[in-house]
Amino acid sequence: MDVVSLSQLQFAATCMFHWIFVPLTLGLSIMTAWMETKYVTTGDETWLRMTKFWGKLFLINFALGVVTGITMEFQFGLNWAEYSRYVGDIFGAPLAIEATVTFFLESVFIGVWIFGWNKVSKKVHALTIWLAAIGTNLSALFILLANAWMQKPVGYVIRNGRAEMTDFIAVVTNPYGWIKYSHTLMSGYALAAFLLMGVSAWHLLRKNEVDFFTRSFRMAAVWGFVASLIVGVTGDFHAVEIAKTQPSKFAAMESIWETKKNAEMCLLLVPDASKECNAVEALKIPGMLSFLAFHDTDAEIKGLKDFPREMRPPVTPTFLSFRIMVGIGTFMILASLLAIFLSRRANFVDNRLFLNLMVLAIPVPYLAQQVGWLVAELGRQPWIVYGVLKTSDAVSKSITSTQVLLSLLGFTVLYGLLGVVDIYLLAKYAKKGPDNDLGTIISVQGRV
């Protein structure tokens, strides 16, 4: 493999591993803050126990996420120096805000939350976890705005052989970024909800802390359904934006080879450049693709054959990843809706089939997150900045394939070990259950 391919593989590996932790941090931070707020407003001690238990899992995940995210920054200078030189003025701005403002906001107040149980009042303590959660969610915003500029570059000019920012407001209000942020944020909330339901189901199967985990399950089911539903809605908005700004990606997502109006949607099709969707190969819905792309059944969809071969993204992985993502999203909406109804029945804890299903469903949202990023990044190829800079022109000129391969192997070993540590710690404390010493918990809450 050449330097470009190895550098792509290395960044993909580190980014996808880092993203295992990010969505859970986004969702669990807000849900933990919600639990503590319920305790402060109601005085119900179960909410305090829930805050402590789920908050512990949040902290484990947050710590591993920080560690795995740092190395990605270095790769922009080591592997992608030409990219940094060409677009650093623009790409670096939102990342600088994320590092100096939002990351410090979340890290400072997470520290206060951890060590402030016996130092501040209940209301102030609840405020600290809200500030940490807001910082966490704002961090994702600025990172996704930076990525959105790569997908839809705005507010810049090419001057002196590089891209220079001319309109910062255009960059931070990029509609592509805000739609992407909404879609990503809600998917993180849905993922956290499914983790809560899965862990709660595991304990309910063993009749551990039935009231505690039934309440956790019911809360997570509502969060999961609402978040999954919004993911679907924002996904529709995102597809419309992609169809307008990245037609080659949209064509790859749907395996559309010929430009056509009233384009049908093929639900079951193996992509093949030599043939179009037909009734034998697939279940198809006439006009549906044009409607989804432009909300007009007669709208024209540009086919892949209208793009030069070297400008087409890899079709099969993009097409299949998109189908997997949509399929999992549909499952999550239905499963969480069913969870809402079943969890309110008196015999809910005896429904072992459904509880086992929810335990097995814990990794499902993680898979949806990963294939979603494959759609976003593979579908943009061969561009690293769509229509502005090719990936092949962005890699560092001074590195060799051997250097990249060795660092890739090193990252794989290191991240593999970190993954084992994360799974071990999360599983250990999730199985342990909440602290039963209510007197100890309440005594460290601090002044009223």
Q: Could you read off the pLDDT tens digit of each residue along the chain, which spans 448 residues?
A: 788 888 888 888 888 888 888 888 889 999 999 999 999 988 888 888 888 988 888 888 887 777 777 777 777 777 888 888 888 888 888 888 888 888 888 888 888 888 888 788 888 888 999 999 998 899 889 888 988 998 899 988 998 888 888 999 998 899 998 999 999 999 999 999 999 999 999 999 988 888 888 989 999 999 999 999 999 999 888 888 888 888 889 888 888 888 888 877 776 555 554 445 443 455 677 777 888 888 878 888 888 888 888 888 988 888 888 889 988 999 999 999 999 999 888 888 888 899 999 999 999 999 999 999 889 888 898 988 988 888 888 888 888 888 888 888 887 888 888 888 888 888 888 888 787 654 444 444 443 3
Residue 311 lies in a domain: yes
Residue 448 lies in a domain: no
Q: Which domain holds residue 158?
A: 3-259+302-443
- Residues 6 or more apart in contact with residue 34 via CB below 8 angstroms: none
Residue 278 lies in a domain: no
Residue 280 lies in a domain: no
Q: What's the confidence (pLDDT) of residue 268?
A: 59
What are the C-alpha distances in Å from 55 to residues 128, 343, 402? 13, 23, 43
Predicted confidence (pLDDT) per residue in 81-131, tens digit: 888 888 888 888 888 888 888 888 888 888 888 888 878 888 888 899 999
Largest pairwise CA distance in the chain = 72
Residue 65 lies in a domain: yes
CB 341 within 8 A of CB 299: no
How many domains does one find in the chain?
1
CB 267 within 8 A of CB 283: yes
Q: What's the confidence (pLDDT) of residue 443?
A: 40
Distance CA 63, CA 54 (A): 15
Residue 46 lies in a domain: yes
Cis peptide before 382 (omega within 30 of 0): yes
Q: What's the confidence (pLDDT) of residue 438?
A: 46
Residue 113 lies in a domain: yes
Predicted confidence (pLDDT) per residue in 38-47, tens digit: 999 888 888 8
